[in-house]
Amino acid sequence: MNEQEGQQLIRQVTTNQENIFVDILQSIAIAVVLSIFLYVFLVTPNEVDGPSMEPNYNDGDLLFTSKLHRWFNDTSIGDALGLNYQRGDVVVFQKPGLSDFVKRVIAVPGDTIRIEDGSYYVNDKKLEEYYDLYNDLRRDGSFLRDGDPPYQLGADEYFLSGDNRNVSHDSRALGAIKESWIKGKVIFRFWPLSEFGIAERGKSDLISQ
């Protein structure tokens, strides 16, 4: 190899190294931009804090919350794509002045809600829930208690409840939750790995008595 060939080889190696470095920087930049986009517009991570959603969600569980439901709830696009909040959905909300809560949708705008003999009644029909619960609705709340008259939700109000109703601090005490306070619907659990997977909507029926 003569001197000229050696210099060409050095320039080629240097150029390849620079290209690799540029590729790495571009990949990092794309990953950062994509992460910011996902966080701002699509999904956000949330952690379950406390036992109020047991036995279905436990303290320390890590969840992904869809913001698409927040952007498109109660719109024609939301109707078409199934992005409206529905009874049985698990959502994350933050009432002003408080931290995030993870709760389940019990009643939606326009519904009436009451508690009778330890059960929820929505639009004068008993809510039959087909998911595991720790259920004690006889525990007094400050907003809605067993035997109180029905409360009718406004056009932007939801009634939310924890699955562990023995300890849950939910709409029974906090009152109706404004749509603007809801950050999104829980769509995925990524920790613990034993529970890794899609977060399904809880099944329920309204039963005439």
Catalytic sites, residue numbers: 52, 103
C-alpha to C-alpha distance for 131 and 202, rounded to whole angstroms: 6
Q: Where are the alpha helices (DSSP H) in 50-142?
A: 68-72, 76-81
Q: Where are the alpha helices (DSSP H) in 38-48?
A: none
Between strands 197-198 and 43-47, the pairing is unpaired
Burial class from Cβ neighbours inside 10 Å (0-12, 13-18, 19+) for residue 181 reads: buried
Alpha-carbon dihedral 95, 80, 188, 100, rounded to 10 degrees: 0
Q: Which backbone phi and psi does 37 adopt, to 5 degrees?
A: -60, -45
